[in-house]
Structure 1
Amino acid sequence: MSRLSIILPAKNEAEGLRKTLPALRGQFPDAELIVVDDGSTDETAVVAADHGARVLRSPYSMGNGAAIKRGARAASGDILVFMDADGQHDPACIPLLLEKLDEGYDMVVGARDGSGQANFHRGLANGFYNWLATRMTGHEIKDLTSGFRAARADRFREFLHLLPNGFSYPTTSTMAFFRSAYPVAYVPIPVARRVGNGSHIRPIKDGIRFLLIIFKIATLFSPLKLFAPIAAAFFAIGLGYYGYTFATMHRLTNMSTLLFSASVIIFLIGLISEQITNLTYRRDA
């Protein structure tokens, strides 16, 4: 029987852990509970230890993704479950994720509905991220940024070197699984109001950062799907401008030549990136 490791990254989440850990221990008495204390200044580590969790402490804050990586490396289970420590994720939903894993999936993500988003703007941004990632991968992605997920440990550890230290580990891991042809499933989950301190996410700064990460992951996942449309746009603009200048001045201008050259260069960069991506995802690379 597979052993379960439940990993909770936590930064100043003492209040949330007082609610979450007893529920987890009651639901999964034999599971390995790992709390990664990301430089907390409250009683996060003490509360976690008091409830029987294994505590990994960082001397300073390294980020949510860094905590996930530390927890995944230290876990001894065959199945890894990642969830927030702030009380938003219901431990009673974990069996739903595990049941889906038993159907042959390598990762199962808890997908929030519109009511599970922190606010309207966050929900709108996540909707855009889901749409863009769906276009890039060719698979429907229902919740790209959900931190509540279960994965097979050996599969997840293959991509630890790709995960950033910040808040975008869900984005990176999801797209990496799709890129490597590891099946991913989604199950709908409810999300409660967080306990304790406010969210550590800064809407504007982290929103821009998430958008940049999406494009970085796109170049890592399927570069031609990003570079080819840009190259085609430059070529179309150059062709349109050439048609205009030929009709009005009967000549090819430097601007049209520059746009044509840019489209070719961008397309070739995309081809090279595609080859690098193939090497990145080779099992023996």
Structure 2
Amino acid sequence: MQPSVSIIIPAWNEDEKIIETLHSLHVLRNREGKEKWNEIIVVDDGSEDETYEKAKEWSDIIIRHSQNMGKGASLESGWKKAKNEIIVFLDADLGPTANLTSKLVAPILEDDMDMAIARFPKVNKKAGFGFVKKLAVNGIYWLSGYKTTAPLSGQRAMRKSLLESISLSDGFGIEVGLTIDAVKKGFQLCEIDIAFKHRETGRDWAGFKHRGKQFISVSRTLYHKWRDPVC
């Protein structure tokens, strides 16, 4: 019998998108069986909108932080509450493409991988200039020897034993830290192309501000992983 899956969705002010994402996961559940997809956990990270109220009806478990604590803390709260052997991290804004999550879990079930990372398709919209991604790619390779093409992807499936052996970083550097620690601990990782879609930042002030924060956070994570390696 295949192991069951717990899906963890961190959410901060996502009331416009989260219902569509959760509804899509219920479509997946109805298609493939609730016995396998039996736990959807939403972590409302101190939202100031109606994220909690809207997500409550569509979640098996909902956790509410009294204040914004960051993505790392949200994922930590979620997976530690999970009961299943396979843990999936998903963003709250995947919308109807969330029902593709079965493709993300497949390498864990079929190929004996410990972590699968989703590679998003290319988008037509011009975003940044790639500085953050290059920093993350080079930093991960320098510190772990792993060559990645999706260093910042938050859509990941993994075994709970992997999470139990490391500590999650915080901020926008969480995926970078997770990749480095997993490789250095000897876990098997793979990347897989999945047609997920989510909110894209553009070449406007909000987009550059977001990527600036991301660059700083990834730099900080790389520094800490260099100074205090997991092993």
Q: What TM-score comes out, normalization by structure 2 length?
A: 0.85
Moved over 6 A (4+): none
Residues in 2 aligned to 1:134 and 1:60: alpha-carbon distance in whole angstroms: 35
Query: Within 2, Cα distance between the matches of 1:210 and 1:117?
Result: 23
Query: Which whole-Å deviations, capped at 9, do the CAs of 1:181-227 have from their partners, x for residues lacking one?
Result: 100110023342429xx88x722233122112122223334xxxxxx
Give the greater-gyration-radius structure (CA).
Answer: 1
> Contact conserved, 2:132 with 2:211, CA < 8 A, in 1?
no
**Which consecutive residues of structure 1, in runs of 5 or more, have no partner in the other structure?**
222-276, 279-285
* Aligned twin of 1:97: 104
Which structure 2 residues correspond to residues 52-131 of structure 1 after superposition, within 5 A? 52-87=59-94, 90-102=97-109, 103-115=111-123, 119-121=127-129, 123-131=130-138
Q: Could you tell me whether the CA contact under 8 Å between 1:130 and 1:142 is conserved in 2? A: yes
Q: Which amino acid aligns with 2:5?
A: L
Q: In the alignment, which residue of structure 2 is the partner of 1:173?
A: 178
- Tell me the amino acid that sits aligned with residue 91 of structure 1: A
Inter-partner Cα distance in structure 2 for 1:189 and 1:20: 16
**1:100-131 deviation line (CA, Å, top 9, x unaligned):** 1120110001123553897123x332133112
Give the number of the structure whose residues are more often helix, by fraction. Answer: 1
Match of 1:147 among 151, 154, 160: 154
Kindly indicate whether the alpha-carbon contact (under 8 Å) linking 1:7 and 1:36 is maintained by their aligned counterparts in 2. Answer: yes
Bigger relative contact order, structure 1 or 2 (CA pairs below 8 A, ≥6 apart): 2
* RMSD between aligned residues: 2.3
Map 1:257-276; keep pairs closer than 5 Å: none
Distance in 1 (CA, whole Å) between partners of 2:99 and 2:65 is 29
Q: Which amino acid in 2 is paired with 1:149? A: R
> What amino acid does structure 2 have at the position aligned with 1:164?
S
Secondary structure of 1:155's counterpart equals: helix
Q: 1:208 aligns with which of 216, 219, 228?
A: 216
Distance 1:89 1:171, change over 3 A: farther
- The one-letter amino acid paired with 2:22 is L
Aligned residue for 1:218? Answer: 226
Question: Which residue type is aligned with residue 109 of structure 1?
Answer: I
Aligned-partner residue type, residue 138 of structure 1: G
Match of 2:17 in 1: 16
Structure 1 contact 35–54 (Cα < 8 Å) conserved = yes
In structure 2, relative to structure 1, the CA distance for the partners of 1:95 and 1:48 (3 Å cut) is same
User: Structure 1 residues 99, 206: CA separation in 2 closer, same or farther (over 3 Å shift)?
Assistant: closer
Pairing 1:192–2:197 present: yes
C-alpha contact (below 8 Å) 2:4/2:86 kept by paired residues: yes
Identity, % of aligned positions: 25
Instruction: Give secondary structure in 2 for the equivalent of 1:115.
Output: coil
Structure-1 separation of matches of 2:96 and 2:134: 20
TM-score (norm 1): 0.69
Contact kept in structure 2, 1:83 and 1:89, CA below 8 Å: no
Paired residue type of 1:74: K
Give the partner amino acid of 2:47.
Answer: S
The 8 Å contact of residues 6 and 84 in structure 2, kept in 1 or not, is answered as yes
Residue deviations 1:225-275, cap 9 Å, x none? xxxxxxxxxxxxxxxxxxxxxxxxxxxxxxxxxxxxxxxxxxxxxxxxxxx
